[in-house]
């Protein structure tokens, strides 16, 4: 499948990124986010994007991430054009900065979701004191995104096999055609939600306020090293911005 939503679907790999604790991987993504938001340099944005992309490639997830990058390209160009046209006095460099910042942030979080299972995310949140109900909502949302992509392709394939063409006609007709996709898709997802509710009830979800877990996460020295490097990456643009006015 080449859906751009596959950037949120975890596929097990034997790589260094997969072996890290989810908290250290989250710290790494957050550090790239903060560095991108705090920096006003196009060169830094390119460097952050290249770093996240290199980590994705090292984690053997490039084939999953490239469809997402392709799908984001029109939005990146739109951000560039919108800043250039609708912001008075916006220089070309400023518009490029906003577009690259968006690209760097989305790539950083793609790195996290591609290399972290929803179960590990839930376990990390629960051990951090987040209520189990909120943890369930977040993890189910992450699982739902690639599942929804699969369901869309299934319903689309069923319509095409019956000779129905979604892209037939003018723009208005195409919009109407997608009603035939939405109706079975909504029914499909409502049925899935009822199945999930029955599964949670059969497993006595919510019966105890403090359930125990079979697995327990623990930070290793390499995780502490990643967190330290992440803190340095996040703090560097702030220190540079603070020191820049003092330069002659």
pTM over 0.85: no
CA–CA distance, 113 with 17 (Å, rounded to integer): 11
For 66-124, write each residue's pLDDT tens digit.
888 888 888 899 999 888 888 777 788 888 899 999 999 999 988 888 888 888 888 88
Task: Please give the pLDDT value at position 52.
Answer: 92
**Number of alpha carbons in the 13 Å side-chain half-sphere of residue 191:** 7
Task: Please give the pLDDT value at position 248.
Answer: 38
Q: What is the mean pLDDT of residues 3-10?
A: 61
18 touches 61 (CB < 8 A): no
Rg (CA), the chain: 22
Task: Please give the pLDDT value at position 117.
Answer: 85
Instruction: Output phi, psi for 171, to 5 deg.
Output: -60, -40
Q: Which of 54-58, 200-204, 222-226 has the lowest mean pLDDT?
A: 200-204
For 139-178, write each residue's pLDDT tens digit.
887 777 777 777 888 888 888 888 877 777 777 777 777 7
22 touches 121 (CB < 8 A): yes
Q: What is the dihedral of CA 193, 194, 199, 204, to 10 degrees?
A: 100
Distances in Å between the alpha carbon of 115 and those of 17, 69, 86, 212, 214? Answer: 6, 17, 38, 25, 21
């Amino acid at each position: 499948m080449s859906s751009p939503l596959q950037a949120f679907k975890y596929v097990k790999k034997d790589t260094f990124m997969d072996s890290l604790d989810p908290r250290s991987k989250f710290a790494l993504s957050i550090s790239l986010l903060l560095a991108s938001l705090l920096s006003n340099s196009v060169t830094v944005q390119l460097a952050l994007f290249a770093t996240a992309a290199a980590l994705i490639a090292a984690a053997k997830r490039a084939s999953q991430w490239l469809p997402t990058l392709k799908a984001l390209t029109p939005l990146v160009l739109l951000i560039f054009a919108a800043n250039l046209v609708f912001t008075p006095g916006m220089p070309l460099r400023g518009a490029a900065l906003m577009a690259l910042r968006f690209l760097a942030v989305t790539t950083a979080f793609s790195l996290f979701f591609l290399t972290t299972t929803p179960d590990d995310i839930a376990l990390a949140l629960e051990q951090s004191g987040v209520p189990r109900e909120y943890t369930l909502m977040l993890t189910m949302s992450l699982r739902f995104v690639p599942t929804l992509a699969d369901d869309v392709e299934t319903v689309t394939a069923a319509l095409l096999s019956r000779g129905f063409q979604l892209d037939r006609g003018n723009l208005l007709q195409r919009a109407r055609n997608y009603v035939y996709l939405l109706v079975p898709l909504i029914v499909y997802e409502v049925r899935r939600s009822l199945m999930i509710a029955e599964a949670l009830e059969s497993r006595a979800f919510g019966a105890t306020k403090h359930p125990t877990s079979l697995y327990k996460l623990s930070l290793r020295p390499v995780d502490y090293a990643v967190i330290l490097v992440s803190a340095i990456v996040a703090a560097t643009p702030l220190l540079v911005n603070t020191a820049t006015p003092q330069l002659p």
